[in-house]
Structure 1
Amino acid sequence: MNLREAGVDDIPQLQVVRNAVKENALSNPDLITDIDYHDFITKRGKGWLYGIDNKVVGFSIVDLVGHNIWALFVHPEYDKRGIGRQLHTIMLDWYFNQTQQPLWLGTAPGTRAEAFYRKAGWKEIGMHGKGEIKFEMTFEGWEIAAL
């Protein structure tokens, strides 16, 4: 299966991956509903997943309305295989082919996600939410990172 666009039928497996992560875990898994996933992949933006043996092991969702990364998660059993990088690349390529508006995301400080985004060319621009680092990727930054 590998990399493909996520659809509504994939939402239960996306939830499994989201709730399996160790970093940036939800304090209450019920906070993000299937309806939220549906809206973000059908109305607000687009999502992709990475599958192995018909099992979703990672996914990403970008919000074209709010200009942010809504989700990028890889199941802990499949870490460090380049899955997150592939999901990140396809998501940013799609987003910046739709608009040149800057894209932002928030992630907890001191996490592997923080290091991942810094290495991928995201720039820290402040704080967001409950102590998360707010990062931004500009169109120009994306062009440079894609080289």
Structure 2
Amino acid sequence: MKIKHMIFREAKITDIRQIQIVRNSVKENTLSDPALVSDADCEEFMTRRGKGWVCEIDRAIAGFAIADLQENNIWALFVHPYYEGKGIGRELQRIMLDWYFSTGKTDVWLGTAPATKAEKFYTRSGWRRNGLHGRKEVKFEMTKEEWEKSRDVK
């Protein structure tokens, strides 16, 4: 599949329906119940707690990322399985972390399921493992300085 035109932009409330489609299409880090992440949750994290971004291809959301300034964490970074391996996750991460650290924050964390593509992605991207988040997720952390050193590593 050859992608002609990707648009990376700040997420809007009107994107939530498509964001939910992407979130519920993933094969790893799936939600046990899709109702656990409501449209209202997405709106709150995108507008009051932090900010979100999307990658749009042919007017469809191919991936999204949302940072949470209140909990100093990455609330979401997902790419539709059809578009995996095209650099969308890497670019969404770059945009999101550049913004996140520009707000004055000095560290960030996230949790992801072990033995997944996401775990490998975060390891390659310079995230540092730091135990578990809850009982089922690997906890990763990154400082602003670590991001500045690793942000352009492919």
Displacement of 1:118:
0.4
Distance 2:104 2:74 in 1: 14
- Alignment of 1:6 with 2:8, yes or no, is no
Distance 1:100 1:45 in 2: 12
Secondary structure (helix, strand or coil) at the match of 2:45 reads helix
Which stretches of structure 1, 4 residues or more, deviate above 6 A after TM superposition? Answer: none
Deviations 1:90-130 (Å, cap 9, x if unpaired)? Answer: 00000000023310000001000000000000000110123
Query: Which residues in structure 2 correspond to 1:1-147 (within 5 Å)?
Result: 2-146=7-151
Name stretches of at least 5 consecutive residues in structure 1 with no aligned partner: none
Comparing 80-89 with 95-104, greater Cα deviation is found at: 95-104
Aligned length: 147
State whether residues 67 and 101 of structure 1, in contact with CA within 8 Å, keep that contact through their aligned partners in structure 2: no
RMSD: 0.9
State whether residues 107 and 143 of structure 2, in contact with CA within 8 Å, keep that contact through their aligned partners in structure 1: yes
Distance 2:146 2:54 in 1: 24
Distance 1:108 1:17 in 2: 17
Query: Partner of 2:3 in structure 1?
Result: none
Distance 2:75 2:105 in 1: 18
Secondary structure (helix, strand or coil) at the match of 1:18 reads helix
Taking structure 1 as the reference length, the TM-score comes to: 0.97
State whether residues 5 and 48 of structure 1, in contact with CA within 8 Å, keep that contact through their aligned partners in structure 2: yes
Name stretches of at least 5 consecutive residues in structure 2 with no aligned partner: 1-5
Distance 1:29 1:3 in 2: 25
